[in-house]
Structures are given as structure tokens and as C-alpha cells.
Amino acid sequence: MAGFVFIAVCIAGAFVLAMRRAPLWVWAAAVAAAVLAWRTGLVYGDWHEPTFNLLGLLAWLPVIVLAGLSVPAVRRAALIRPLYHKIKGILPRVSATEQEALNAGTIGFDAELFSGQPDWEKLRTVPPITLTEEEKAFLDGPTNELCRMVNDWAIRHNDKEIPEEVWSFVKKHGFLGMLISKEHGGLGFSAQAQSLILGRIASRSPDTVTIVMVPNSLGPGELIEKYGTPEQKHHYLPRLAKGLEVPCFALTGPTSGSDAATMRDVGYVTKGRHGGKEVIGIRASWEKRYITLAPQATLVGLAVRVIDTDNLLGRGEDLGITVVLVPADHPGVEIGRRHLPSGAAFPNGPVWGRDVFIPIDWVIGGEKMVGHGWRMLMECLAAGRAISLPSSSAAGAKSLLRNTSAYARIRKQFDLPIGKMEGLEEPLARMVENAYVIEAARGVTASMVSRGEKPSVISAIMKYRTTEGMRRSLNDAMDLHGGRGICDGQTNYLMAAYQAMPVAITVEGANILTRSLITFAQGALRSHPYLYKEIQACQDADEERGLEAFDTAFCGHVAFSLSSLFGAFFHNVTFGLFGHVPDKAYGTAEWYRQLWRASRNFAFVADLTVAVLGGGLKTKQKLTGRLADALSELYLLCCTLKRYEDDGKPANDRHIVALAAHNGLFRFQEAMRGTIDNFPVTAVRWLMRVVVFPFGAHYKPAPDWLGHKAVELVLTPGEVRDRLTRFIYVSNSADDPTGLLEVTMAKVVAAEAVEKKLDRAVRAGQVRRVHGTDWIGEAAKLGILGDGEVLLLREVEELTQRVIAVDHFDPAEVKPHYMMAGHNARAIRSAAAE
Ligand SMILES: Cc1cc2nc3c(=O)[nH]c(=O)nc-3n(C[C@H](O)[C@H](O)[C@H](O)COP(=O)(O)OP(=O)(O)OC[C@H]3O[C@@H](n4cnc5c(N)ncnc54)[C@H](O)[C@@H]3O)c2cc1C
């Protein structure tokens, strides 16, 4: 018995030391104490002098090894130096452009999730959504006005272009310069405000938001603001802020899409004439495509690789990617005709040039920034990717939910609002979850960017998860609307988003690439507590310095790995019961516990994956994609809990949070299971299985009743529905297709009891509801309905007919006349009229 207790104490001790990441000397001391207790009979209560036999000597061996390794000089000579050389060959090789990408941006809460022991307080210090009075006034003033004035159908179908009055309005009110500081004539709004403004416009018109989003995202404005010379700032920023310049940013070319860094666009450093004198510049040739706003741009931000064959700048030959500002009317700059991306109306087209002389002063940041373009782009992308597309995806998920739930309440089949049928409850519940979670993540991430973070891994998560989430909501919304969603026209409020969806999926890092390469494969290097330090140490030109840094990082890594292994196993066998919960987590403690446990599992599997696959990680994209899914589930669930707390834990929202938590943990589990089941090394696969799933996989998707509760909340007008769809543009005019939904839904809900009376009369055969009869009048004559009820039902009937109606056209109206001369439908039509 005493023997068992002794073994149990040893195991418990090992767990405690490993989980607390004890240093080597503590391990040595602990093992020494255990050996001493065993060899002296202390365990059995009969102390005696230790006997010196072979077993006794062998028992001290681990103590000697551990004690030896805890002496730095011994450890380095015996272990670290040989390992340092070996690991140099195994660790993923980092190219120069990857290095730039890795150095760009900041590490934030993603590192907490990689650590396996997230500090909840760090999450809580992210400010809740806050706007200044000026930002609020802009959101409720010019932004609402812009939303009211855009006619999405006319833009994307009739005119195939953004009307001049919309351009003038956005320029006049400074929409194009939201990120430009006040000092330079811009609005100087926070990332949170920009995100909310973009979202509100997106909820009205994907085309209109694009012309506002691009100047406020990765592009000349942001690059000049961050890296421009004083002259560039002074000249361009006020002009960009007022819309006197329309910018575009040209990076992508026919041969360089996702792999933009391998562009063939080149600029040779040379001398040439500019402004009447000879200056140093670059002679550039490029071919770019898909460039948003290019057909209308006056200023082109251009990325080219600069080569200085004659070493005129004195920095060697291949200087690397460089960003220049070229006026669109500069001789040799060619802006082509328009692409038609997904039938959208925002301007988009190719840009090219051959042997165009560009003075060196036009490099953003001047001569010293030649060759630093990739870093600049990655830096801005790290912030921009967290704002632009997540804001329009969140707005999309929210407006889809608002409009679809209204339609599902209004539209009846089988005498029942379709939203109350279980089959449709499933997609509606998904839409509720999506709208809540995406908005939660949008809000938290925008607050991080507002306080100065440029979270590169989180922004990748946000880009691919929010756009995928919106795609899911769109497909669900389409299914729920049936033919009403499919037939396009003035009253179709789904089609614009449906058409534009592939654009969001593709730009700013296409989703498959972002999921399978950027989020985990590069994210692991970024957010893992020790990996990048080890790589940097291995790449250090000074071997002794590198060795010392490697020693520190490696020892930390070993302690971290042991902690992850023992920690994950401990929390799995105890079902997360001891997971760390922050203060005052009333109502959400269980989700925090499970998140802690999940984070432990993620840290363990991620660490082992990186250690075992090393340089092969980048090619194992099915594994890295699943790990990206797992990491993103953790992040989204953290944001969901934070939103719930920031909103003051409204009682009704707890069902939605529970729905999201159940489903999020289940998806996390499936991502981990997929990773482990497909892990290519058998022994490691089994170790992962035993540690992560000692009793099998037991998370389940949210139970049906939770989905039912969530849908019930959104099918009824009120505070939950409003909160779920906050910050979007909501029309209350029956003359607007989405406003008509609002007005009709309110009437339908008010008329529910009366409708039931009428339905009963129809079922009983007292009145016949067919064309050519006045069934409401009949019911009134029979005394089934009173006068007020008749009025109400007639109104509901009239409104409902309008809601379910679809547009139809004269064949001549639907001819794609915009293609006839390649552009400008309005000019063609007015020419035809003349
Ligand atoms: C409407 C629109 C507007 C745009 N606006 C601009 C703009 O203003 N400025 C600009 O410079 N560019 C712009 N782009 C370009 C956009 O950024 C690129 O389309 C995008 O980077 C993808 O490149 P690609 O289309 O050539 O696809 P490809 O690079 O050919 O990719 C094809 C598929 O392969 C996947 N893939 C590629 N490499 C990998 C990998 N290593 N691992 C896993 N998957 C991978 C991608 O995810 C994608 O699914 C725009 C594009 C569109 C469609």
C-alpha cells in the first residue's frame, strides 16, 4: 500500500513540477528526494542506511544527469551545442519575404492561446466598443444619409457604376480619409469607428462600401500616413482626405496572385530627367490586374521589385520590393478598361507600364525606404485585414439575420410562419450564432487595433473566419427565402451580397491560403512562446551568441512542452474541472474552464506538430488548416464571452452564448480529432490521442432546444433582435425593400391572434381563401372578425403580398447593355435617348 502511495505521490509531483514549468535543478532535487526516500526505506516507515548495489547506483543516474544539465556550461557542452547544429537543419527555413512578414505586426491574445494558459485579464483589458461623440455623430449623420441615398439595384444593375452624387457625397464628408489624421486633414477616426461606419454602409450596398473601404484600407493613404516623407504627407494626405485624389493600390499581377512577393514587375535604378533636371529614379515595367478603383484613380500606389545594377544607391543590386506613388496621368502609366468582378459595379481594372521613369522621391518614405515595401505592406495588412472585411462580414451576417428572420416570420406555408418549422430553425439558429459571434470578434479585434495593435495572426483568423461565416449565413438566407431570394431585381435584398461574396473570400489573402498557410503555419512561428526565438537563435551569424540564446529558448521550450503534455492530460482526465476561471465569471465559468482545457490541448498538439514536422509544416496544409480552425474557434469563443460581459450579460443572450460555446467547442474538438487522426507519425499520433482524448471525444453540438430558444428570440421584434443586429442600417420605410420587412413583421406579430381566428375559419370551411373571393370580408360577415381586425388583416395581407412579390422585367430591360462599349451604361443610354 505504502508503495502505491509513494508512486502516486511521485506522479502527482511530476504533474505539479511539469505544469509549473519547474527549472532543471528543482527536478533534480525532487528526483533526488524521491530516490533517497525509496533507497532509505522511508516510504515503508523503516529507515535504514542506503545500500550500495547496482540498482542503487542506477537509481541515482537521473539525479546526476538532471543536476549536470542544470549547470549551464555542462548543459551547453553536452547537449545544447550538438542539438543547436542538428536543429538548424530541421527548423522551417524562413525566406527573406517571410522574415519581413514575420517581423510585421504585433503578437496579441493569440500568443495567450498558444501558451495553453490564457491570461483572461489580458482579454478583459481590451476596451469594450467605444466611440467619441464626433464618431457617433458621423455614424448617425452622414453615414445614415449615405445609406439612405444609395440605390443598390440602380448601382449594380442599371448603371454598373457608382453614381456621381455618391462619389461627391463621400468625398465632401471625408469618408475617403477616415484613417488620415486630423493634422493632415482627415477625420482621424479610431479603427472601431471605421469598422462600424464601413459595416453600416456594407449593410446597404457592397459596391458603395468598396469605394470607401479601399482608400481606408491597405493603400496609398495608410502607407503615406505611416511611412511617407514630410513632403509626401503634406502634399498627398489632405488631397486624399478631401477626395481630390482617388487612390488605388496595385500589387497583384497575372503571374503573382497569392504569391505576390515573386512579382515580375521591376524597376531598374537609373538616372533620368524629371522637372527639368537629371535625377536618380527607377525605370519601371509592370503589369497589374484586378486593381480596385484603378479605372477612376488619379494616384496609383505601385509595388515593384527594385534592382540597382550600377549600385547607384550604394546598397547592392537586388534591393527588393518597393512601393512608389505614381500619378495616373504620368507618361507611360496605362490604366485599362474594366474587369467585371462578380457583376459588381465598383471600378476595378488592370494597370500597366513599360519603361516608365519614376523619380526616387516618389518612393513612399523616399530613397531610404527602397526595398522595404514588403514589410510596409505586411504591417498595414496586419491591421487592415482585421478591420475592412470583418466589418462588412459582420454587417452582412447581421443584416442577413435581420431580414431573413423577418421574412421567415412573415412568409407562411402549411399555415405556419416558415421560421417556426424545425427544418428552418436549424439554418436560422446558425445565422443567429454567426451574427453574434462575428460581431463579437469584430468588436474585440477593432478595439485591439484602436489601441495600437497590428495583430497579424488574429487578423488572418478574422479575415477567413468572418468571410466564411458570412458565406454560410448567405447560403442559409438564400435557402430560407426560396425563389424570393433567387429572382433578382429592385426588391431583392440578398443578391448584391451573394454576388459580392467571392470577392471578399478572395481579396486580402484568399481564404484557402489564409487558413492553410498563414494562420497556423506562419502563426505558429509568430505566436508560439519559444519557436521563433529558437529560429532566430539558429539564424544568428554570431555562433556563440546564437548558442546562448538557443540555450535559453530551448530550455524554456522543453519546460513548456512538458507543461503542455501534463497540463493537457490533467485537464482532460478531470474534464476541465480545474480550468482557470477569471473573477466574476458568473454564468460563464463552465465555458472558461472548457476554453482553458481546450487551449491546453491546442498548445500541446501545436507544439508537438511543429517539433515533429519542422520544415515540413508548410506542406502539410491539411493539418495546418485544421489547426487554424482549432485556434480560430478558441479566439472566437473568447470574443463571444467578452462580448457577453461587455454587454452586461443580458439574461436572454445567455442562450445564444451557450449555443455558440457548445458548437464552438464541438468544432474545436473535430478540428483536433482530424489533426490527430491524420498525423503522419504513428507514435506521436498515439501519444496525442492518449493525452487529448483519454476518454474519447465527448463535446457535442448544441442541443436542439438551445437553437429553438435562440430562433424564438430573433423571430420576435424586441431588444434581443435589435442587439443581435446592432450598428447596421435599418430602414423603417415601407417603400424600401428592407424597411418593408420591418413594417410588415411588426404588423404580422400584432395580427397573430386575429390571423389564427381566420385560419380556423378557413380550415373549418366557413370561408374560402382563393383568388376572386374576399375571405376577410366573408369572415367579417360571419361575425368571426370585428371591424378593427378586418382593417388589420387587410393591411397585413397587402404588406405580405408586397414582401413575397418578386420583380419581373421587359426582355429589353435585362440586356447587358453595359457590355456593349465596355463601360458607362449611362452614357450609352443617354446617347441612345438623343
Ligand atoms: C474584385 C477583386 C479586387 C481586387 N483588388 C485588388 C487591389 O485593389 N489591389 C491588388 O493588388 N490586388 C487586388 N486583388 C487581387 C487579390 O488580392 C488576388 O486575387 C488574391 O491575392 C488571389 O490571387 P489570385 O486571384 O491570383 O489567385 P491565386 O493566387 O492563383 O490562388 C488560387 C487559389 O489557390 C490558393 N492558394 C494559392 N497559393 C496557396 C498556398 N501556398 N497554399 C494554399 N492555398 C494557396 C488561393 O487561396 C486560391 O484559392 C483583387 C482581386 C479581386 C478579385
DSSP class per residue in 439-470: HHHHHHHHHHHHTT--BHHHHHHHHHHHHHHH
Residue among 98, 210, 249, 252 to mutate when testing ligand 1 (max atoms within 8 A of CB): 252
Residue among 262, 506, 514 to mutate when testing ligand 1 (max atoms within 8 A of CB): 506
Please indicate whether residue 507, judged by its CB atom, sits closer than 6 Å to ligand 1: yes
Q: Are 347 and 156 in contact (CB under 8 A)?
A: no
Distance 348 CA to ligand 1 centre (A): 14
Helices of type H across 335-372: none
Please indicate whether residue 503, judged by its CB atom, sits closer than 6 Å to ligand 1: yes
> Which residue's CA is minimally distant from atom 23 of ligand 1?
257
CA–CA separation, 490 and 736 (whole Å): 10
Distance 258 CA to ligand 1 centre (A): 5
277: β partners: 274
Please indicate whether residue 258, judged by its CB atom, sits closer than 6 Å to ligand 1: yes
Burial class (CB in 10 A: 0-12, 13-18, 19+), 705: exposed
Burial class (CB in 10 A: 0-12, 13-18, 19+), 730: buried
CA–CA separation, 308 and 304 (whole Å): 13
User: Which pLDDT value is given to residue 720?
Assistant: 95
Identify the residue whose cell numbers are 481579396: 507
Distance 371 CA to ligand 1 centre (A): 23
Neighbouring residues of 764: CB distance < 8 A, sequence distance ≥ 6: none
Burial class (CB in 10 A: 0-12, 13-18, 19+), 47: exposed
DSSP secondary-structure letter at 650?
-
User: Which pLDDT value is given to residue 382?
Assistant: 77
DSSP secondary-structure letter at 363?
B
Q: Are 562 and 18 in contact (CB under 8 A)?
A: yes
Please indicate whether residue 520, judged by its CB atom, sits closer than 6 Å to ligand 1: no
Residue among 265, 471, 507, 514 to mutate when testing ligand 1 (max atoms within 8 A of CB): 507
Please indicate whether residue 510, judged by its CB atom, sits closer than 6 Å to ligand 1: yes
Please indicate whether residue 506, judged by its CB atom, sits closer than 6 Å to ligand 1: yes
Q: Are 378 and 101 in contact (CB under 8 A)?
A: yes
CA–CA separation, 459 and 465 (whole Å): 10
288: β partners: 351
Please indicate whether residue 252, judged by its CB atom, sits closer than 6 Å to ligand 1: yes
Please indicate whether residue 517, judged by its CB atom, sits closer than 6 Å to ligand 1: yes
What are the cell numbers at 80?
545544447
> Which residue's CA is minimally distant from atom 11 of ligand 1?
251
User: Which pLDDT value is given to residue 92?
Assistant: 60
- Closest ligand 1 atom to 293 CA: 8
Q: Which of 89, 81, 9 is nearest to 43 (CA)?
A: 9
Angle at which helices 621-646 and 653-677 pack, to 10 degrees?
A: 160
Please indicate whether residue 502, judged by its CB atom, sits closer than 6 Å to ligand 1: no
> Which residue's CA is minimally distant from atom 53 of ligand 1?
503
- Closest ligand 1 atom to 512 CA: 47
Q: Are 806 and 491 in contact (CB under 8 A)?
A: yes
287: helix, coil or strand? strand
> Which residue's CA is minimally distant from atom 31 of ligand 1?
258
Q: Are 629 and 517 in contact (CB under 8 A)?
A: no
- Closest ligand 1 atom to 251 CA: 11
Alpha carbon 721 to chain centroid, angstroms? 24
CA–CA separation, 47 and 37 (whole Å): 9
Determine the residue type at 745.
M
Q: Are 383 and 498 in contact (CB under 8 A)?
A: no
- Closest ligand 1 atom to 517 CA: 42
Identify the residue whose cell numbers are 489533426: 675
Region at 365 (left for phi over 0; alpha for psi -120 to 50; beta for the rest): left
What are the cell numbers at 652?
436572454
Residue among 511, 513, 619, 623 to mutate when testing ligand 1 (max atoms within 8 A of CB): 513
Pairing of strands 348-359, 247-250: unpaired
Low-confidence spans in the chain with pLDDT less than 70? 47, 50-52, 90-95, 97, 816-834
Q: Which of 767, 747, 771 is nearest to 757 (CA)?
A: 767
DSSP secondary-structure letter at 694?
T
User: Which pLDDT value is given to residue 826?
Assistant: 47
What are the cell numbers at 101?
512578414
Q: Are 739 and 733 in contact (CB under 8 A)?
A: yes
Q: Which of 386, 533, 528, 536 is nearest to 456 (CA)?
A: 386
Q: Which residues are catalytic, by number? A: 508
Quick one: how many helices (H) and strands (E) in the chain? 36, 9
Distance 288 CA to ligand 1 centre (A): 12
Please indicate whether residue 257, judged by its CB atom, sits closer than 6 Å to ligand 1: yes
Distance 253 CA to ligand 1 centre (A): 10
CA–CA separation, 384 and 376 (whole Å): 12
